[in-house]
Amino acid sequence: MRLRNKPWAKDKLKEYADFVIQEPEQHRGKWGEVFTKDQPLHIEIGTGKGQFITGMAKANPDMNYIGIELQESVIVSALDRLIGENLPNCKLMNVNGAELAKYFTSGDVSRIYLNFSDPWPKTRHEKRRLTFASFLKVYESILVKNGEIHFKTDNQGLFEYSLISFSHYGMKLNYLSLDLHNSDYEGNIMTEYEEKFSLRGSRIFRCEVQFLSK
């Protein structure tokens, strides 16, 4: 998808420091200080325009949430959404999700959400997929003991690949749906992409997987 350049986005992200975490590496190991309440922290990698992360924060005020997005021209839309809400338990980070270990340490994060990640369908790009083993190793290093990943996609190939990747890594599958919107799952918060794809009749795949102590 080609993004419309927003040259003013960088300045706006700096202006709203109450919503967009500045210099996040300084909070590594002490994220409870960033929020009004020291609560379990959930993060979404690739938060897009913020519909999912703000929806989760509304539904679960006893959790803290951070939406992580690299593209400045996208995350400003999430910022606009967050500015209009009273959500002290939700923040944004404009950083590269591939560099999580710079910002979080062991036990900082209770759960990771991967929603509609780029499938990188070509074999030579396998290492860029957010469910590739090297990414799983980083996730494990920042999550609490036996922490979870919740994964959603409309891409069946990526979903099948990810299930194999999770299995090879020795993770436990706690939930699986091959057609989320026609399942009995309750409390689903949709992303912008999810709404668009489901209206087209696309199936939504979802799973919850857990790291096990080694």
Biggest distance spanned by C-alpha atoms of the chain: 47
First to last CA, the chain: 40
CA distance linking residue 30 with residue 8, whole number of Å: 31
φ, ψ of residue 191 in degrees (nearest 5): -90, 170
The catalytically annotated residue of 18, 62, 80, 118 is 118
Q: Is 154 a catalytic residue?
A: no
Contact assessment for residue 72 and residue 13, using Cβ atoms and an 8 Å cutoff: yes
Please, what is the Cα angle at 42 between 41 and 44, to 5 degrees? 145
CA 207 to centroid of chain Cα atoms: 14
**Active site residue ranges:** 118
